[in-house]
Every structure is written in structure tokens, then in C-alpha cells.
A and B are shown apart, each in its own frame.
Chain A
């Protein structure tokens, strides 16, 4: 027996077992076999396959070895067998990233492209883009051009893909293929029928097979876009030509075309008139992927299209919901879910289809169906109140579903339910019941935490006191046999905060006391604190009883429990309510920034840290912060709710955080402004800064020669208004000097005190001009004003590269008029949350009514956001949401003015004859302010 036959057996052995072949053995064999003469084709192909398997499972070869491999593989070029050659090309392509010596095979590849077999020619072309570099690409130009226009669609596609891959390195060369590419898009290329016979599966019956798949159109279009994308006119022409008739036969190329249309529309929305018909045409197509892409694009552009046009999209989606292919249904419901976030009423027509999908075999689909339904239900029933049965039905179906689905999806559904309950408080009863039922079932800590989180939020934000009680009682029951210490502690803390203010505190005390008897020391110590809160708030008999209960804990085995009991008893006996229950909290963000500031500089340590610098937030203000945060989070998270649900790693999207922190940032920003202003001696005596507008207001176009933004600072006690003009010089060759702003108020009660001008402003820098005014007080009749603004400056040209100006040049003085600035009612108001608008509103004095037409608003939605912006109040009871089919709406707004009084506004909006009329009823604690609010809205 010779050595070679012995080896053959060995290979057969390793081949049949599924273990990964040994790297060094494969390497050695490759070197040996590839260099052998004659080349054994079958053996070599086997070896290459084994090598590829190593590569595709993640093995790598050191540079030295891959070079050796490369050299030996290149020997195989001498062999004519096309089946071997095809695999050689694949291997070279995969090895190309590992070796630096790939250039040496360039000429062999080029030779194959010129005269090689049609089988491996496309492989050669695709490999070529890997071995070419910017210096050698010129040599291949001719080859590429010929290949692109080749009659064989595969060769053409390969050349187009190869050129596409070359774009980053050799765009100028690829540009010369533009004509050939254009020709290819509109040509007809047929797959050589003889090639089908290569595989016996098709045998001789090739007549049923498609002659071409037109994929070259897709590749050509993709390449062409990159050659043309700087030229909008050329692109428009391309789109119109290709969208006519059936110029594009390939679905992928149509998808690509739709994306280009989308891109163009993103840049220039005015083109929608020309491009909408094209997109709408694709809503009915034989391929569902084209229909999907058209829906996707149109939904992205929904602000540009009319309602009836929108219905066409929904109809297409409705059809797609019923197709057998899971991926398509999934895509359709994903889109519908996206629409439902903003416009649940628009998709109510598909409710029946959605209900059918609740039991879909794909869990993502059923979850999306449920969350979407929860939204449309809410939309349908917010006003009528008649849709209660729908919610009932949905909840019954969900309850049955809950047993079957994984926890991730349960958490998604819990979030959706919480969202619904927050937005539509009238529906809370059913939803709370659903949540508490779920809480009783078995579940992991993560699931239970999310339910408890949801219930906590509902307690905080539901206006109805009975709802609060219901949830609290359920939570009490839950901790009776809760296996998670962490959750028990949280619930006990909440009971301590909320329980004393309910009608039957003794109920909760009993439950908490049970914990004291039965639980571990961690739960016991938090139960002690919780009980102490009841004693402090309720007083009287309750306090007396609690003292008895607590005194028993003085003998607890755990020292923490004993300590806490002793301390609590001491506080209760001395009536130190404040030490047990805090009515206000420090703004943590501000505290953190102040502390970091303090700790960063040793010099600060000579004085004590002054805690009084940190603003104290009352529990109400804290609630409005949290409410805002919550709503923001819900809105942003529903977008990617399913995405998150699927991810175990749970990478919470970063944008969630940014949205949630907005409100906290506002407070920080206010602090920063106060700090900045206090450093300017002129403003030192103004005292405490009452309020600053947070977002700078643009008084010029953003691409002007200079860009001016303004921030208004109010010092109410000193009756001062400081306007902070931030001016940015965008002129590259000019220096501005002696810049000041002349602000002309239309209200005589505003008197200008002084201007702090800006000495010099270099190109691309920003400076600040302050203008200070004495303002009228609230007793004066006219508080609001508008300012006409003019920037005055001296302009000097830059004469050298260092940015210097000619000393002798006096420059020229100029004035530049910028937009007017208004002081509106909203400037005196901070939004404030209140869980019970009607009660709070009814208690407010000084009612004042006015009727205005909301300008420049063509829908209720726009009008509401305008009113919110101008009045700077917080919308309550979910009243900022308008179903788009209604013609009237009631908006409830609440806030707190800078003098410390509460402001409530009830706005009745009606849409008549294309105009929006608002009847505004304002009530405010501060005398005289309600009329300002009522008349200041526009």
C-alpha cells in the first residue's frame, strides 16, 4: 500500500466526522497538493473547501503562512477545470483581506476576464475589485466597461458590483462607466440557457425557468445613484424615466428607486407633487416587498400627504396583514404600529385584522398587534366612552394569551397598558385589574418589577383617588407573600408615602405590621420607617397605636431595625414630623453639579458648601418633572418597544435618556444662566433670577451672515428684564466691532437701563450683548410687550491670513434689522403637574375669558402645540392628544406663574371653515395675571 492511498483513507475519516479539521494539517496539505504536478482537481477542490471552512468558522492564518498559502493557490491558475477555478476565486477573495501579496495574481485574473470560461468569469470579475488598488485600477478600466455591457446578466452584475466596491478607492475611474451603466439598466440580458443544464436537477427542462431575474438593473441603479447623487436634476430625470411604464422589471431595483425618491423628498419637500404619484403607483405591485417599501416611504413622509392619500397606504397594509408570509405580515404590523403612536385613529379600520393577529404564531406579530390595539382602543374611546366593551374584549383575549408568551413580551405589554392608562385615565379600572392579576401569577423579579413600576406610576399620576386606593390595597396583598425582598422594600416605602393620606390608613398599618412580624430584617427595617410615617402624618390615635407597635420592635434581633425604631419613636414623641416626612426634595441634578463644582477646586474648601443654593422642589413640582419624563419616555420608547423586547442584553437606547433628562436639563440650564449673570457686576444687584427662557429664540435665519438668538431673563423682584443676545459672526473675512443691539419696546412701561455691548467678534465666533430693561409690575395694566431689534456694528475686513485687520481702516458702521421679540404670557409661567385638573381649576379665582383665532394653524394638533408653546403650560389629563377626525377639542393646561400663584387654563377649540377658534378661560391666583394669560394667547 502506497503512502498516497493511505492518506486518502485518512481524509475520508476526517471528512465523515463533523469535527473541524486541524488548521496546520490543512495548511500542510494545501501547500503539498497545490504544488504537485499534475494537479488533482478533485483533491484540490476538497482541500479548498476545507480551507474555506476554517476561514468561515473564524480561524485565521498568520501573515507569513497566508502568503505561502496564497502563492501555492496561485499555482492552481494553471489548471483549466472551471469547477476548481471557481472555488479558487472564492478562496482568493476570502484570503485577500489577510495577505498583502494579493497584487501578484492581478494579471492572472485579468487574463481570465479577457478570455476565460463564462462559468468563472463573473467570479474573476468580483475578485478583481479585491486585488486592485487605486494605482492599478486604470489597467482594468477597459475590462470593466466591456463586462458591464456584456450580454450575460451575471457577468454584467459582477462587473457592476465590482465597480461599486471600488467606489471608495477609485471614484474617478468608476465615473467613466456611467454611460455603460445607463445602457445596462435599460437593456435586456438573458441568462445563457445552456448554463442551466450544468446541474442535473433541472435536466433538460429548462424552458420553465426564468430567462433572467433582471438583477443587473438593481446593481446598475445602485451604482448610478452614487455617480449621480450630487446632481439633483440628473437624479430627477433618472427617476422619472425609470418609473414610467415598466422600465424596471426587478423588484429590488424598484425598492432602490423608491429609496432614492424618499431621499430626494427629504431634501426638498416641494417635489412631493411630482413624486407622490410615482410612489402611490407602487402601492399596488405584484411583489409585496415593493408594496412594503412604498408604504414605508409614504409613512415616513406622512406629513406631506393628504388624509385620503394616507388611506391608500392603510388599504395596502391591510392587504399585507393577511398574506401567508410571516415576514410580510410582520413588516406590515410594524408599520401600522408606527402609525398608531401618533395617529391611532387613522388605523382603526384595521382593528379587525389586528384582533385576528393576536393569536399569530409569530410572537412578535401578536405582541405588536396587542400594543397597537391598545392604542387604537384608547383613541376610539377617549371621547365617546362607549368603547368600553372593546377594551374588555381585548383584555380577555390578552389574559388568555399571557400564559403562552415569554416574559419579554409580557413586559412590553405591561408598558403598553401603563401607557394607555396614563393617557386615558378613564380606562384605568380594567387596566389596573389586569396588572394586579398579572402580579399574582408566578413570574421572575424582572417581570414583577415592571408590573410594580407600572403600578407606582399609576398611583402617582392617576387623578382618581379610588384608583390609588385600589392599587395600594392590591400592593398590600402582594407583599403578603412576596418572595423578593427588593420589591417588598419598595412597596413599603410607597405605602408609607401614600397610605397616610388615604381614608383608611389602619388597613395599611395592619399589612405593614404583618411584615414586621414575618419578614427578614431588611423588610422589617423599612416597615418601621413606613409605620413611623403613618404616625407622623395621621397623629392622634393612630400615632398612639403605632407607638405601641413600634415599641415592640425595640427588642428586635437585628440592630438596624432597633436603631430605626428608636430613632422613629424619638421623632414621633418630639413631634418632629419634618424629620420623618419630607414635603420637598432637593433638585438632584442641580445638587450633583454644584457638588462637583465645589469638589473640583480646593479653594472652595475654606467655606462650607451651601445647601441653600440648591433649589428645593416641592412634591408637586417633582411630580411634574417625573410626569414629563414619563410621558417623554413612553413616547420615545414605544417606537422601539419591540426592538427592546427582543434584546436580552437590553441595551436601552441612548435617546431615551436624552428625552427623559430634558426637564432636568432645563433646571440645570436655568442654574447656569443664573451663574453667568451673577458674574456680571451690572446685574449683581438684581437679586434672584426668577425665570429664563430655556431654548434660545432665533431672530434671524440660521444661515444668515450673522445669526442672532435671544434669551429672556426675568428678575421679578427687582422688576428687571435682561435680554441676552447671542450673536454669531459667520462672515469668513470680516471682523465686527462695537456691536450693540437697539431694542425698541412698544410698551412705554419698559424702560431701557443700559446696554452691555460687545467689543469685537471674530469670524466663526459667538459673543453676547446684554440689554437691561426695567419692567412694569403685575399691577400695571400692560405687562406684555414686543421689541423691535436692530444690531448696530462696525465692520472691518480681514486683510491677512492671521485674521488681522488693517489698523488704519476705520471700517464702516452699519445697522441690521432683525426679527421682533415678544414678551408673552408664557414667559411668566412654568408648567406644573396636577393629577386632578378639574378640582384645582375650580378652586382658582379671577376667571377671565377671551376668544381668539389661532393663527397659522390648519389643524387642531398644530393649534394645540402653538398654544402650549406660547403659554408654556402643562397639558393635563392627556388633553394634548387630539383624534384627527374631530372638529372640536378641550385642552386643559396648568402651571405656576413666577409670582408663585397657580394658573389654570381651559381652552375650547373648534375648527370651523379652515380656521381654528379658541375660547380661552384662564384662572390665576395672582391678581391681574389671568387677563394677561387670556389675552396673551394667540
Chain B
């Protein structure tokens, strides 16, 4: 077993729905790191979806938390109609990877007000993708403390900040301002 001494730990983060369709899929290709030998069989979309459907058939409704599949370590959390999956290399520290998936799950749970399901994820996709980005960047684990991850994710603005510069009014203002100035100059100058 070759040792992973790089920080690149996670191979992919996936959120699949109850039919195995992807809601979120991010594969981290570490072509830059030598430890990986550049081997990645997730290059094409077809390979990725094939992988997803085969792990889905393995993990759906089987609450195992962790399995080994096709030389990958797969940890996951299933709830309602979605599965949150993290894929890592086969020789990774199982507990570490599971902690990451658990952390991410808890963060999402807080951010989505205890309703992690397909429609919530889609309607609050900004929060979901930010939370994942604050947990894992390019396969590097950034944070394992849910409270910090949650705090890092900004809420969507409640309303459109209406710094409404009313165009029409602006022009009239400008015109009247200009006419006033011109009037003044005319009086002064001539």
C-alpha cells in the first residue's frame, strides 16, 4: 500500500437522489500530485455516472456508513431522499473520511434547517455548494468543525438591496441641477 503523504485526501464528493441521479458531483483530479501517478478513472462524464450508479446500487438503503468498492473507500450518509457520499482512496484513514462526511452532513443539516432532502437542496443550492467548498477544496480537507463551516457560509441576501437609483428621477435632477448652474453662470459671467 503506497502511503498518501499529500494533503489531497478526498477523491470526490457526491450528492445523489433516491434514484441515483446526481444532485451534486465534484471529482477532484489531482493530476499535479505525483503520489497519484496521474491515475484517475473519473475523467469523463460517462465514467463518472457509471461509477455513481454502481455505488448507488451498493449503498442505497443499506445503512453501512462505509464500504470498499472498486479500490475506493466510500463513506456515506443517507437521509430522506438523498445520499451524501465521499469517495477516497482505499488506504485512507477510514475514521478520518467518515468524520468528514459526518461533519459535512451536520453542517448541511444546520444550514438547511434540519430538512436535508432533494427539493431543499435544490432550492438552497447556493448554501449547499458553499458548505461543501468550505469543507473540501480540491480534495484537501479544509475544516472538520461543523460550527465553523456553518459560520463560514453566508446566507443569501434576504431581499434585493434596492439602492434604486431611479433613472428618470436622476436625469431630471441632473437636468435641473445643470439648468440651475447654467443659469447662475449666465447671471454671474455676463
Contacts and interface: CB of A to CB of B under 8 A. Distances in A.
Interface of A: 15-16, 18, 38, 40-43, 45-46, 48-50, 52-53, 56-58, 81-84, 86-87, 90, 93, 119-120, 122-123, 126, 154, 157-158, 161, 164-165, 167-169, 191, 195-196, 198-199, 201-202, 209-210, 213, 215, 218-219, 222-223, 225-226, 251-252, 255-256, 259-260, 262-263, 266, 288-289, 292-293, 296, 300, 325-328, 330-331, 334, 361-364, 642-643, 646-649, 651
Nearest to A162: B137
A292 B62 CA distance: 25
> In this complex, which of B66, B98, B118, B144 has the most chain A Cβ atoms within 10 angstroms of its Cβ?
B66
Interface in B147-169: 147-148, 150-161, 163-165
Interface string B62-87: 11111111110001000000000000
A206 B97 CA distance: 27
B109 to A, nearest CB: 10
B133 A331 contact: no
Contact of B93 (A45, A84, A289): A289
Given A222-B7, A327-B65, 13 more contacts: A43-B160, A45-B156, A52-B129, A57-B24, A87-B129, A164-B140, A199-B150, A252-B96, A259-B4, A259-B5, A326-B66, A327-B66, A327-B75
A229 to B, nearest CB: 8
B74 to A, nearest CB: 9
A826 B125 CA distance: 71
B69 A83 contact: no
A260 B5 contact: yes
A57 B96 contact: no
Interface residues of B, number: 75
B48 A58 contact: yes
A292 B66 CA distance: 15
A289 B154 contact: no
Given A40-B160, A49-B125, A84-B157, A328 B143 contact: no
Contacts of B64: 326, 361-364
A198 B130 CA distance: 14
A49 B96 contact: no
Nearest to B158: A42
B142 A157 contact: yes
Contacts of B152: 122, 154, 195
Given A325-B98, A362-B65, A646-B70, A255 B155 contact: no
Interface of B: 1, 3-7, 22-26, 32-33, 45, 48-49, 54, 57-58, 62-71, 75, 90, 93-99, 110-111, 118-119, 122-126, 129-130, 133, 137-138, 140-145, 147-148, 150-161, 163-165
Given A41-B157, A56-B129, A293 B7 contact: no
Contacts of B157: 41-42, 45, 81, 83-84
28 contacts: A41-B161, A42-B156, A42-B160, A56-B24, A81-B157, A93-B133, A122-B152, A123-B133, A154-B143, A154-B148, A161-B138, A161-B142, A199-B155, A201-B150, A202-B147, A210-B148, A213-B145, A215-B145, A219-B140, A259-B5, A263-B3, A289-B93, A292-B93, A293-B96, A326-B64, A643-B68, A648-B58, A649-B54
A83 B156 contact: yes
A154 B149 CA distance: 10
> In this complex, which of A81, A86, A225, A363 has the most chain B Cβ atoms within 10 angstroms of its Cβ?
A86
B69 A330 contact: no
Contacts of B23: 53, 56-57
B98 A202 contact: no
A213 B123 contact: no
A196 B32 contact: no
A126 B137 contact: yes
B125 A52 contact: yes
A50 B125 contact: yes
Given A165-B138, A213-B148, A252-B144, A326 B126 contact: no
Given A198-B155, A292-B94, A210 B164 contact: no
A29 to B, nearest CB: 15
B130 A81 contact: no
Looking at chain A's contact residues, is the secondary structure mostly helix, strand, loop, or mixed? helix
B110 A199 contact: yes
A544 B126 CA distance: 85
Contacts of B95: 288-289, 292, 325, 327-328, 331
Report, nearest first, the 5 A-B pairs whose CB atoms are least far apart: A327-B98, A331-B94, A83-B154, A289-B95, A49-B126
> In this complex, which of B58, B63, B123, B151 has the most chain A Cβ atoms within 10 angstroms of its Cβ?
B151
Contacts of B70: 646-647, 649, 651
A198 B22 CA distance: 30
Contacts of A648: 54, 57-58
A362 B93 CA distance: 18
A15 B165 CA distance: 29
A167 B5 CA distance: 14
Nearest to A194: B151
Contacts of B126: 45-46, 48-49, 52, 87
B111 to A, nearest CB: 8
B160 A213 contact: no
A213 B165 contact: no
Contacts of B150: 199, 201-202
Contacts of A57: 22-25
A293 B130 CA distance: 30
Contact of A252 (B67, B141, B153): B141
A172 to B, nearest CB: 16
Contacts of B118: 18
A888 to B, nearest CB: 34
A327 B97 contact: yes
B151 A86 contact: no
B154 A18 contact: no
B172 to A, nearest CB: 18
Nearest to B167: A37
Contacts of B99: 289
A289 B145 CA distance: 15
A801 B98 CA distance: 58
Nearest to A19: B122
Nearest to B123: A15
Contact of B7 (A46, A164, A260, A647): A164
Given A57-B23, A119-B154, A326 B144 contact: no
A361 B63 CA distance: 8
Nearest to B100: A252
Contacts of B145: 210, 213, 215
Nearest to B95: A289
A194 to B, nearest CB: 9
A90 B122 contact: no
A252 B95 CA distance: 11
